[in-house]
Amino acid sequence: MTVKAEDQHDAARPPFLPFPVRAVRQGLLIAAPTAALFGGFAANTDVSPATALFCWLGVNALALALIQRQMRQLWRMRQAVRRLSRDQARGVAETEAGSESSNLAAEIDRLSADLVGERARAVAGEAALRAVLDSLQLPVLIFDAGRQLRFLNLSARDLLGQVPEGRDFAAALRNPDVLAAVDRVIRGGASEDAEFRIYQPVPRRLRVRIEALPALSGASRSFIAMIDDLTDSERMREMRSDFVADVSHELRTPLASVLSIVETLNGAARDDPKAQQRFLKMLEEQARRMARIVEDLLSLSRIEMHEHQAPTGVTQLNDVLRNVAEVCQFAARERDMRLEIDLPERLDVVGDSHELTRLFQNLVDNALKYGDRGTAVRIHASVARNMARVAVSDRGPGIPREHIPRLTERFYRVDKGRSRAAGGTGLGLAIVKHVVNRHRGELKISSVENEGSTFTVELPLAPG
């Protein structure tokens, strides 16, 4: 709103004293009728002209003083009303008790106090609403009819990034289907649902519901967008399908072996104790193999279920690596191998200690299974680019270059016979990959044939 220069001057100073032009104008308005009155008295009565002039001056001075006083009080009240309109409420200056102006000033003071209270309640209510919305796990965005964002709760900021309030809705969500649904609701349409996907840091499937909020008296229209994560339900369906396919595929061979052994025990080996012992040992091996496959499949399914939810706890990685080395010492001695550990003094990462233990145990187990007898498996940890870097290296036949891109696929084996003989299920590196993804890390594989392989894991360091 544009304010005239005269009004700005009036806002800064009270009337009359610094305004001779206005004072003269007010004086003339009073002086003209009184001059006619006292002039008539002097002409038609025995009052002398000097006495009439003296009385005229006295009446004018008194009237002007009274008007000036009232004008000052009105000016103060006008200033108070202006402050109310600018959220700068303060009390009106004191006026003469019992006068109409003092009564008006008291009413303005009461109005000021009421407005201050209403504004305080409104601010407190908005703060409480923001706190409630911030506590929700559901991402929530509130925007106006111009598509300007008015509020994003903490979950929305975690999902979409730190988008400033006041930006266009497209700054938070650029998906064309979502923006089209937003525009339809703003134009007066019914509630809309739209699905979209994000691919960083991990793929997720999401659904947004857009609704108009009830309009408040005198307030502009507002709208709300609530985002629901469908990733879990979608992955659950995929996992059920994958689990059935994997189990039916991978358990077919050991189950066939078990059935064959049972038939042999019930047939030709029924009366042969030595053969029975040999076949029972084979039966035990196949049963253990099936148990390992099922256990790894279940572990992989659990990790995949929560892969899109990054862990938030802090783990001392040195403790994890030392525990893994201690657990794997027995397997190393069986193959006449040794474990060499090179760790910094302290290495804190953001992660789940149980999953990280499984990750590095799988890597060390693989190094012990496929490394040459009598060699060392080396575990080296360091810090690089604000990431913890752990490398597990073996000395062995290495991995042909063409196989490296597929190593983390389920049940992929470079040498199937050697893998099964070593007790592998083909799921160890798949588990490693998904644990690394959930921890927002990176897995690197390098190998030189006839020299060995190195598996390097990078994980985010804990803050501080």
Is 191 among the domain residues?
yes
Q: Average pLDDT of 159-175?
A: 88
Contact status, residue 362 vs residue 435, Cβ threshold 8 Å: no
Domain boundary pick from 263, 290, 309: 309
Neighbours of 366 (CB within 10 A): 22
The pLDDT value given to residue 249: 66
Q: Do both 101 and 181 map to the same domain?
A: no
Q: What mean pLDDT is predicted for residues 232-255?
A: 69
Q: Say if residue 255 is in the same domain as residue 219.
A: no
Report how far residue 322's alpha carbon sits from residue 100's, in angstroms, rounded to the nearest whole number.
Answer: 87
Do residues 415 and 428 both lie within one domain?
A: yes
Residue 298 lies in a domain: yes
Strands (E), 204-355: 204-212, 222-229, 314-316, 338-342, 348-350
CATH of the domain at 252: 1.10.287.130
Amino acid at 346: R
Q: DSSP state, 408?
A: T
Token pair in block for residue 358: 């499984």
Q: Where a domain ends, among 117, 144, 162?
A: 117
Judged against a pLDDT cut of 80, whether residue 148 lies above it is answered with yes
Contacts of 61 (CB under 8 A, 6+ apart): none
367 lies in some domain: yes
Rg (CA), the chain: 43
H-state helical runs in 315-352: 317-334
Rounded to the nearest 5°, which phi and psi values hold at 219?
-100, 150
Q: Are 98 and 172 in the same domain?
A: no
Q: Is the model's pTM score more than 0.85?
A: no
Q: How far is CA 227 from each of CA 41, 48, 110, 127, 142, rounded to the nearest angstrom? A: 88, 93, 45, 22, 12
349 with 459, same domain: the answer is yes
- Indicate if 85 and 206 belong to the same structural domain: no
Q: What is the enclosing helix (H) or strand (E) of 383?
A: strand 376-384
Is residue 439, in this structure, part of any structural domain at all? yes
Higher-confidence residue of 365 and 236: namely 365
If one counts the domains in the chain, the total is 4
Answer yes or no: do 402 and 437 share one domain: yes
Please enumerate in sequence order all residues whose Cβ is within 8 A of that of 247, keeping only pairs 6 or more positions apart, or say none: 293, 294, 297
Please identify, among 165, 194, 229, the residue that sits at the C-terminal boundary of a domain. Answer: 229
H or E element that contains 202: none
Residues 249 and 198 reside in one and the same domain: no
pLDDT attached to residue 442 = 93
**Does 316 share its domain with 453?**
yes
Residue 411 lies in a domain: yes
Domain that holds residue 276: 231-309
On whether both 318 and 460 belong to a single domain, the answer is yes
Specify whether 319 is located in the same domain as 305: no
Give the whole-angstrom CA distance, residue 235 versus residue 438: 14
Residue 398 counted as domain residue: yes
Confidence band of 321 (pLDDT split at 50, 70, 90):
very high
Report the Cα–Cα distance between both ends of the chain, in Å, rounded: 50
Interatomic CA distance for residues 158 and 141, integer angstroms? 12
Give the pLDDT band of residue 210 (cuts 50, 70, 90): very high
**Could you tell me if 252 and 189 lie in one domain?**
no
Mean pLDDT to the nearest integer, 201-219: 79
- List the CATH number of the domain containing 209: 3.30.450.20
Query: Residue 442 sits in a domain of what CATH number?
Result: 3.30.565.10
- Residues 136/153, Cβ–Cβ less than 8 Å: yes
| Cα–Cα nearest to 130, from 151, 158, 108 | 151
Query: Which backbone phi and psi does 70 adopt, to 5 degrees?
Result: -65, -40
Within 10 angstroms of residue 74's Cβ, the number of other Cβ atoms is 16
Both tokens of residue 359? Answer: 């990750």
For residue 126, being part of any structural domain is answered with: no
pLDDT above 90: residue 245: no
282: in domain: yes
